[in-house]
Structure 1
Amino acid sequence: MLRRKWNTTLPYGNCNACILGLYIYFLCAIADILPAKAIHKLKSSSKLFSELPETPYFVAKQAENSLKKDRPSCFFIQRDDILNHNDCVELHPLPGEELSSCVPENMLRFIASSRLMILSSSNGLLLCLHGTELFITIPATCYLLHIPLPNHLQQRGNLHSVSMTLEYDSEDYRLILFYNEDWSSHFDCHVYSHKQSVWSLRNNRFFAGLRDLKFGMPVICNGAIHFISDCYSYLAKDSTHFRYYIMSYKITNGDEDERVETKLLRVPKDARRGSHDDSCDMNIFKWGAVDGHQTIFLVKLRKRVFTVWILANYESSSWRRIMKVRVKGMGLVEQNPEIRRFTILNGDLVFATNKKVYAYGLTSEKYMVLSKICDHGCDSTFVRFVLYSDTLRLCGIGAKNFASLSTIKET
């Protein structure tokens, strides 16, 4: 049996360097298994540990391990009217993730005191808005990076007609921004690449149809970004867009001259029934895959009844209903709860009532099983969920630590 023969003789004067090298190697190796919460606890044990979360190799290894899971471990909950209120931002781990999910308390206080609205999350990064200022934040490392808007938007007093989404892959992150003027149905699409640090304008405009789209709830799936329309009854019945719909915009990483297509996806017929009722709310979410392809979930809440469909065939807009249940029949202890928001998270329908957050299983393992996730303190007519995986990242050149800032100044 062959055994590796280790040379334990260290040259005089290099002993400390070798020990330090082995120490760093060991720490980088355990980055494959350490969650962000454990890394936070280790930071206070030594100077070396305190610097590790900012070491590129260590960050890359920890992020690589987290990406393999491809599952959010926690979620932020905020008031949906955060621009007028600044005292509520909460982070809650999912059941079973309590020991691994963590964001420093001072970061949560910073978001609240600075009145940051969390717009989007992707693999450990948050895209936040403060007035007309954009920021990328890394909660796990407590860093923040200002992202300048495209030149023609920098002088605007508000960004009400602007939609922004964050997307992160293993090497780079990019921002996707849609903007129109004069209530046009056609939107310009600007894409910001972190590596290039510039905004580029796509040649093909995005056609949104005649309805308003829910730009605050995008779904990136199969190389395209998707938005569902509202379902209010402000259009004539003979209008081609009287019924609500989903619009997709294909975004490629290649040449800007490459064709970028806008496509309309029809929703199932039974989802259209009663869609103009004041109690009706419908949203789309990405979850899992069907036949090896990413797919979209459609969730409808009307008169305290949840209905969920899965997009079985993307090309033909073929849907399959997988669940229909009354809120009263879920087994909630609360009497007549008001549903403040809902989302799809790791195979569960997750929804918030006045004070609590619940999960209702959609998969065979927990199908139609109700469980309470947590209490929440966001006292608002509507709240917003932001799914999050507390993965280590590096912001990039120019990033600042939260500790060096008390709040973000009004601009």
Structure 2
Amino acid sequence: MDVLAFEIFSHLPAKSVLKLSIISKQCHENLSSQLLANKQFKNLQDKEDSCFFIQSKHCEKSSPIPLQLKFLCETFRSFCGFPPVSHEFLSMTGSILASHNGLLCCKNIYDAEYPVFLCNPVTRTWLPIIKPTINFNNNHPFNFILVDHNQEGDYMLMHVGSRLCSIYSPQNKVWQERGEMMVGLRSIDFGSPAYLKNENGGGTIYFMSDWNKYLTKDSPFYWPYIMSYNFGNSISRFLKIPRPARKGVLDDNCKFGVFKFRDPECGTESICLIRLMKLVFSVWVLTDVDLNTWRMIMKARSKAMGLYEDSRPTISGFTVMNGNLLVIATSDNQLFTYTLTRDLTTSSNVKRAAKIGSHDQCGREDVCFYSYSNTLRPCGHGELPLPLQ
């Protein structure tokens, strides 16, 4: 394969590459190389994700969860899906715990010794992961985090049990203890992290605390907060939420989320805090982590956003994809997207949510999202073909 063709193929979605590989024996040999796979998934790291999985937050621990893959745009469906055998395997095995750059970290309800696995559904491969040796209980919430580890494209799988965290080594197939996180006096939502990568390849991960009413006002942790953990120096720290975000924070209808944010005009990255209270979305962006300063970029009512007209559904869940796109699921099973900042493709200042489809079997339950990109990324040393093939 010449250099130009190699470069072109390395920018295509994995589904398109695999379709082209069956044209002839020569195409299969050229497009099945590990070199192309490595180049392709690294190229797609810099591109926006085109689809996501949605599932209930309150899924049963002992039963599989129906797999729901949704697309940000209907045109993505033709080249960003994956084979039915992968869909069947994932739907029968358990539930998704984390997702990054084409890899899914999933729960395996049928194997207590290897309770989690990595899977690339488009290449139909998987890698069973032995259970962590520290603070792991099959009956407790599975808190696994999957992120990029360095500039070479290696991934890092992290497990958080209570306050102790450990990192999985794919080469040695062992869990390595990384010490204790400082989490404060509130419960931490380890299942919905926001990760910012540093220039040196390391990174910092951010988690939102809960906001329930069980601490007294004289406690330094009375108000909800954001906890961060630096992978480079293993240091934890706390960020105060903006003072305006505290208003009504103890209301039972209040919801918070912390997400990665990217400014489309200048390309800078930070985290954003989203508060949903009484069907009103408020969004703040962290402007200085050392000074703990925030800037409000959005406040909008759900009706003004176009999420409903007559009936008033509740919000089942929300997330931020690609750094600037708010994805919303409603209790009447509808899915919407809404840009957090001004749409640079139009001169209009009026923004409306775009309906992108519906979701199934979730209803009024809280839901969670896992963004997905169509890559050839390998699961790691010792990966296997899916057993249903």
Normalising TM by the smaller chain, what interval? Answer: 0.7 to 0.9
Matched, 1:224 2:200: no
- Matched residue, 2:118: 136
Matched, 1:159 2:140: yes
Q: Deviations over 1:145-182 (max 9, x none)?
A: 0111233457x44233x5210112543111112223xx
- Contact 2:85–2:388 at 8 Å: present in 1 too? no
- Matched residue, 1:12: none
Matched, 1:388 2:376: no
- Residues 40 and 350 of structure 1: CA distance in aligned 2, closer, same or farther (over 3 Å): same
- Matched residue, 1:15: none
State the 1:213 CA deviation. Answer: 0.6
Matched, 1:318 2:293: yes
State the 1:286 CA deviation. Answer: 0.4
- Residues 157 and 36 of structure 1: CA distance in aligned 2, closer, same or farther (over 3 Å): closer
- Matched residue, 1:244: 224
- Matched residue, 2:240: 266
- Contact 2:170–2:381 at 8 Å: present in 1 too? no
- Contact 1:90–1:108 at 8 Å: present in 2 too? no
Amino acid at match of 2:160: F
What percentage of residue pairs aligned between the two structures are identical?
Answer: 35
d(CA) in 1 for partners of 2:4 and 2:138? 51
- Matched residue, 1:124: 102
- Matched residue, 2:187: 212
Range with greater deviation from structure 2 (234-243 or 36-45): 36-45
d(CA) in 1 for partners of 2:51 and 2:270? 22
Residue 374 of structure 1, aligned match among 357, 361, 368 = 357
- Matched residue, 1:356: 334
- Residues 331 and 143 of structure 1: CA distance in aligned 2, closer, same or farther (over 3 Å): same
d(CA) in 2 for partners of 1:142 and 1:27? 25
d(CA) in 2 for partners of 1:137 and 1:51? 23
- Residues 41 and 82 of structure 1: CA distance in aligned 2, closer, same or farther (over 3 Å): farther
d(CA) in 2 for partners of 1:92 and 1:188? 34
d(CA) in 2 for partners of 1:52 and 1:386? 32
Q: What TM-score, normalized by structure 2, do the two folds share?
A: 0.86
Amino acid at match of 1:270: P
- Matched residue, 1:102: 81
d(CA) in 1 for partners of 2:277 and 2:84? 37
- Residues 151 and 277 of structure 1: CA distance in aligned 2, closer, same or farther (over 3 Å): same
Matched, 1:111 2:87: no
Matched, 1:190 2:166: yes
Matched, 1:90 2:68: yes
Please give the secondary structure, in 2, of the residue aligned with 1:64: helix
Q: What TM-score, normalized by structure 1, do the two folds share?
A: 0.82
Matched, 1:200 2:180: no
d(CA) in 2 for partners of 1:152 and 1:202? 11
- Matched residue, 1:67: 45
Please give the secondary structure, in 2, of the residue aligned with 1:118: strand
Matched, 1:328 2:303: yes
- Contact 1:357–1:374 at 8 Å: present in 2 too? yes
> How large is the Cα RMSD of the aligned pairs?
2.5
Return 5+ residue gaps in structure 1 as ranges: 1-21, 181-186, 253-258, 407-411
d(CA) in 2 for partners of 1:158 and 1:338? 30
State the 1:29 CA deviation. Answer: 4.2
- Matched residue, 1:399: 383
Please give the secondary structure, in 1, of the residue aligned with 2:338: strand
Residue 174 of structure 1, aligned match among 148, 152, 156 = 156
- Matched residue, 1:343: 319
d(CA) in 2 for partners of 1:189 and 1:151? 11
d(CA) in 2 for partners of 1:127 and 1:58? 23
- Residues 55 and 82 of structure 1: CA distance in aligned 2, closer, same or farther (over 3 Å): farther
Q: Deviations over 1:345-402 (max 9, x none)?
A: 2312110113211011212216633111112213341221101111111123322222
State the 1:67 CA deviation. Answer: 2.2
Matched, 1:296 2:271: yes
- Residues 165 and 318 of structure 1: CA distance in aligned 2, closer, same or farther (over 3 Å): same
Amino acid at match of 2:168: Y
State the 1:32 CA deviation. Answer: 2.4
- Contact 1:177–1:191 at 8 Å: present in 2 too? yes
